[in-house]
Amino acid sequence: TMDGKQATMQLKQSKIAFAPLFEKLETRTLDDDLVRGFSQMMSHMQAGNYMAASDMYVKVAIGNAAWPIGVTSVGIHERKSRERIGSQSSAHIMNDEASRKFLQAMKRMITWMEASEKALAKATRR
């Protein structure tokens, strides 16, 4: 079926996307914050707490950075406030293509595990 082909394609893409992650883990070159974030995501997933795993995904993906909404450059203090927005508490993982792909694959895995667990629970209730 079309759904099966799409799922197979996503599995293949995820497998390819995880390769750089595994390489960085083996060579111990993955950023410590990412290691902690992925570790917490996996712990939440193993416990079946997919909401917390998704929250951790968001923290790893975008960090705690303030996102400028609206007009940021009005007045004399524009540069100072703009520098503060982007300078700290930002993950910057989305700037690297390989990192972005394995992070998206991780989110795909969280979503798949949650959906399959719900389907299994629904099937066993019958």
Q: Does 101 fall in a domain?
A: yes
For residue 33, what are its two tokens? Answer: 């914050």
pLDDT tier for residue 82 given thresholds of 50, 70 and 90: low
Q: Does 75 fall in a domain?
A: no
For residue 87, what are its two tokens? Answer: 């300078």
Q: Does 110 fall in a domain?
A: yes
pLDDT digits (tens, 9 = 90+) for 67-79: 666 555 555 555 5
Query: CA 52 to CA 44: how far, in whole Å?
Result: 6
Structural domain that includes position 29: 2-56+93-125
**Average pLDDT of span 34-48:** 92
| SS3 category, 70 | coil
How much is the pTM? 0.70
Asked if residue 55 lies in contact with residue 39, where contact means CB atoms within 8 angstroms, the answer is: no
Give how many domains the chain has, as a whole number: 1
Is the pLDDT confidence value at 88 over 50? Answer: no
Going from the C-alpha of 22 to that of each of 12, 49, 115, the distances in angstroms are 15, 24, 25
